[in-house]
A and B are shown apart, each in its own frame.
Chain A
Amino acid sequence: MSEEAPVIDLDGLGVRFGRHQVLDDLRGAFSGRAIGLLGPNGAGKTTLLNTLLGFYRPTAGTARLFGMDITAQGRELRRRVGYMPERDAFIAGISGVRFVRLMAEVSGLPPEAALERAHEVFFYVGLGEARYRNVETYSLGMKQLLKLAQAIAHGPSLLFLDEPTNGLDPPARLRMLRLIREIRDSGRARIVVSSHLLRDVEECCEEVLVLNRGRIATYCNLAEERRANRRFLELDLAAEREGAGSSFRAAIEGLGCEVAVVNRRRIKAVLPPGVEVRHIYASAIQQDVTIRRLDYKRTSLEDIFLQAMEGDDGRL
């Protein structure tokens, strides 16, 4: 397994169930620490996850995880993968800690290490006090955390989370998102989150793949997008003297900024490399202009998503 290889490398991946083409010619390489899969219901997010996990056999093309082919090296890959399914999934009649221990042992951990890890992950996800309870008695929120616990018990390098915040109340949702971010930031596991909740994906992912009708509608590197957004400014001005506004605009254009005038009091500017906000403030002081408001332009994931849904081409 090559750590330099993309986390997910889709090479014309297609999946067909009978006459229904569920995934069609997916291509692209994704290397973020946390990759979000977005799309409306039925877009193919869960099918893509299941195909990457080896549950469905591709009918066209292939995919690689960390450079390993999902079909040819499926077993070896699954040793390094953790999976949290969307729907309730558990083994009936056993306690939570026993369930997680069993899952860790099936992943290859020796019995003693599996038991130790089971206790640790229970405390990590915040279910420590409930670990000896029968899993069937867990609430919906607890079952979500239990699914996360079994997915990380064996310390996977890649974590697939399918709708991780489904059915969670707001505090539980925040807790789940915090855990996902924490795992991401630990650098021990790459994460793929499938969700139809834009906010969840925006909060914990660096790259986003938007699927629509089984095709890639758009790809967005959120980290880069956020960085780029910091170069777009929107300013509200109050001029102390006549003509100060124009001279301020000329001054920041002189710094290399591209400037667009919205109205007499509002302008938009794009900062060139090397120019920082403090330079803008310095120009304002020089030109006797008060900056009443300065905002970074924000392109939300919602904008990106809606834009992607409008296009019907479905290719990157």
Chain B
Amino acid sequence: MAVYDHGYKGYDGPLMPARSRFLVISRYGLREVFASRLFLAFFAFCFAWPLVLLGAMYLRYNAEALTLINLDSADLLDFVQVNTWFFQNLFLRVQLYLAFIVVLVVGPSLVSADLRNRAMPLYLSRPLSRTDYVLGKLVVLGVLVSAITWAPGLLLFAIQASLGGREWLLENWRVAPSMVIVSVVWLLCMSLPMLAIAAWVKWKPWARIVFMGAILTGTAFGQFYKEFYDSWLGSMVVAFDVTDALSASVFGTQGTVQMPEAAAWLAAAALASLSAALLYRRVRAFEVVK
């Protein structure tokens, strides 16, 4: 059916593999996300802090550069201790806050418009399952969050390992997988609720407000419960407490929150499962009114 030939013709050409079909949705999603210059600027800003840390690491091992900017290497060695704490708190904690903003901005636009404009029957009348659709949208958030969390984290880790030598690597090897695990768990615990809320609310600004409201309400209730009953159980509904406890569990450090590791994992699993169930209830071609 060439442009000049206006008759109807079928398609007999090759087809892409069915397994990777969900990546089409991710590719288009990412392109739409980066069509916004404002978001692009913010995303670029997300790399500022890793660059600052990279600079500090570089200076730490470069006496000539230190002399140039009139800094004493001993002061810097004391100030910038590149260890588990550096990656867990100085790098990953800051980046996860930025990733939270990314999820808050991008998440609702991924599904709410599709549901509002009744695009689901168009997707699902094709060889694409509801899981493929959700996976495709999740990959968009996954790529964005990974790009500002564990991916630069691993880069910093590799640079530090090359500068610090074998001894440093043997002492801190656990940092690399820990950054990946914490980032992925955090991604699931934030992205799935955001997508689920966006699917139910269908309007981007409201979805963001409801998501923020849910986090703040959980935090307020959790803090009240902790204070009133003097129990760690309140932390189960405080997103940042759960993140801290999980992070401490994975990095093998002492957490700031008094909460059993198992409880933190349970809270994260419950949140992700509940969100996935709510999301699946909404991602349908048509709603059935019984």
Contacts and interface: CB of A to CB of B under 8 A. Distances in A.
Interface string B237-273: 0000000000000000000000000000000000000
Q: Chain B, interface size: which category?
A: 35 or more
B118 A88 contact: yes
B122 A92 contact: no
Given A78-B126, A92-B113, A188 B118 contact: no
B126 A182 contact: no
B121 A155 contact: no
A117 B15 CA distance: 13
Interface centre among A17, A106, A121, by most chain B C-beta atoms within 10 angstroms, is A106
Contacts of B3: 119-120, 123, 128
Contacts of B284: 55
B84 interface: no
B124 interface: yes
A90 B24 CA distance: 16
A56 B288 contact: yes
A19 B289 CA distance: 11
Instruction: Name the residue in B18, B21, B286, B289 with the highest tally of chain A Cβ atoms < 10 Å from its Cβ.
Output: B286
Interface stretch (B5-13, B73-81, B91-99, B146-154): B5-13
A189 interface: yes
A20 B126 contact: no
Specify which of B1, B18, B284, B290 lies most central, judged by the most chain A CB atoms within 10 Å of its CB.
Answer: B1
A157 to B, nearest CB: 8
Contacts of B128: 78, 106
A155 to B, nearest CB: 3
A30 B39 CA distance: 53
Interface string B1-42: 111001111111111101001001100100010000000000
A90 B12 contact: no
Interface string A6-43: 00000000000111100000000000000000000000
B71 interface: no
Nearest to A122: B3
A102 B9 CA distance: 19
B7 to A, nearest CB: 7
Task: Report the contact-size class of chain A (Cβ under 8 Å from the partner).
Answer: 35 or more
A157 B11 CA distance: 10
Interface in A109-128: 109-110, 113, 117, 119-121, 123-124, 128
Contacts, number: 133
Main secondary structure of the interface of B (DSSP, over half): loop
Interface in A126-168: 128, 150, 152, 154-157, 160
Contacts of B70: none
A58 to B, nearest CB: 13
A236 B58 CA distance: 105
A113 B121 contact: no
Interface stretch (A79-87, A227-235, A268-276, A296-304): A79-87
B8 A182 contact: yes
A18 B288 CA distance: 9
Contacts of B160: none
Nearest to B133: A106
Contacts of B11: 109, 113, 117, 154-155
Contacts of A108: 15-16, 18, 21, 127
B122 A120 contact: no
Contacts of A91: 113-114, 117, 119, 122
Given A85-B121, A93-B32, A102-B24, A75 B1 contact: no
A183 B15 contact: no
B285 interface: yes
A192 interface: no
A52 B82 CA distance: 61
Q: 3 tightest CB-CB pairs across the interface, nearest first?
A: A155-B11, A18-B290, A155-B10
Interface of A: 17-20, 50, 53-56, 75-76, 78-79, 81-83, 85, 87-94, 102-103, 105-110, 113, 117, 119-121, 123-124, 128, 150, 152, 154-157, 160, 179, 182-183, 186, 188-189
15 contacts: A53-B285, A79-B126, A79-B127, A88-B117, A89-B118, A103-B126, A105-B16, A106-B21, A106-B25, A106-B128, A109-B11, A117-B11, A152-B8, A186-B7, A188-B8
